[in-house]
Amino acid sequence: MPRPVSNPPNPHERFHLERFEPELARLEVSEELAKSALAQNDSPDIPFRWSVNPYRGCQHACAYCYARPTHQYLGLGAGTDFDRRIVVKTNVAELLARELARPSWRGEPITFSGVTDPYQPLEARHGLTRRCLEVALARRNPVAIITKSALVRRDVDLLAELVRRADARVFLSIPFADADMARAIEPGTPTPAERFETLRALSAAGVPTGIALAPLVPRLNDADIPLQLERAKAAGARAAFFILLRLPAEVLPVFRARLEEAYPERAEAVLSALAEMRGGKLRESRFGARMRGHGPRYQLLEDLFRLHCRRLGLETGGDERLATTQPRAGGGQGLLFEPGP
């Protein structure tokens, strides 16, 4: 009987040994002294220039995570290694303080995300994201946060002060309305209800918030668009964006395996619909094209999203002040944390 591939072969390694892990792999945490805190983006697909990622890998274990292949640069796998072999950048806050103090730094907004979730469970122990936010507050530097975690509520006091002194915005990524579906596809995340309650708490504290329907998976959660936007609006969200499912490199086999295990009767239809929106293929890596779909099915999703955002009064882009947390004007669904190819 074929065994599941928990880590697709690393294309950067000449040889590959697949470990069979019948149970969830145990968490392994490593520490590193990073060389820099700020990562600069030059992709035309992304509306932010600077980001900070205090961790490598992510315990949320989302099957669709576009960042999985980045773990291969460490000689690790894009599957269970990404979920359970986490690297902590212990000096990231000190580096950020040094970089923001440079005369050349122009006070541009910084996005917390980009490769992994800044509020994954290890943040409760290490507090690196909070320490970086304290640095941003001391320098009065605006920030944006994209997270799936309820842990961001811990820092509501700090975020509210950042709003008053500079600017701060938080987007909760809540792609699934159904808790069981969320648990199947993104098993390490809080429930959708917990994330909406987090939106409510941040909004009540005066922190501008939004919802990220990221990713939209055709024939799996696309029908949830109206409900998710309504729930976000009721929780105080001011803005919204969506990202069509994207499966670069070794992400595809990880997602396919999880999908076929959880929803075997839907798997073929999901991938077929995605290919229809991607010009007949499941992957698109070209700058300027990798983040958008094509064809009538994709246009229907985009129209549905925009229609309900207008109905609810949710912002979808065009305001330059929201450049770190909103789509570019005319940019379609909005692109917040997609890394380079």
d(CA 202, CA 297): 35
**pLDDT the model gives residue 44:** 60
Domain count, the chain: 1
In a domain, 22, yes or no: no
pLDDT of res. 45: 65
pLDDT value of residue 46: 67
User: Is residue 235 included in any domain, yes or no?
Assistant: yes
Does residue 45 fall inside a structural domain? yes
Identify the CATH number of the domain in which residue 224 sits: 3.20.20.70
Residues 6+ apart with CB under 8 A from 321: 167
The residue ranges of the chain whose pLDDT is under 50 are: 1-5, 12-24, 318-341
Report the pLDDT value the prediction gives residue 288, as an integer from 0 to 100: 62
- Residue 7, in any domain of the structure: no
For residue 18, is it within any domain? no
Burial status of residue 288 (CB atoms within 10 A of its CB: 0-12, 13-18, 19 or more): exposed
Q: How far apart, in Å, are the Cα atoms of 222 and each of 7, 179, 237, 322? A: 28, 15, 20, 25
Q: What is the pLDDT of residues 139-181, one digit of tens each?
A: 999 999 999 999 999 999 999 999 999 999 999 999 999 999 9
For residue 228, which of 161, 186, 266, 182 has the smallest C-alpha distance? 182
Residue 215 structural domain:
28-322
Q: Which pLDDT value is given to residue 114?
A: 78
So what's the pLDDT on residue 26?
A: 81
Tokens for 29, please give them.
């945490």
Structure confidence at residue 65 (pLDDT): 95
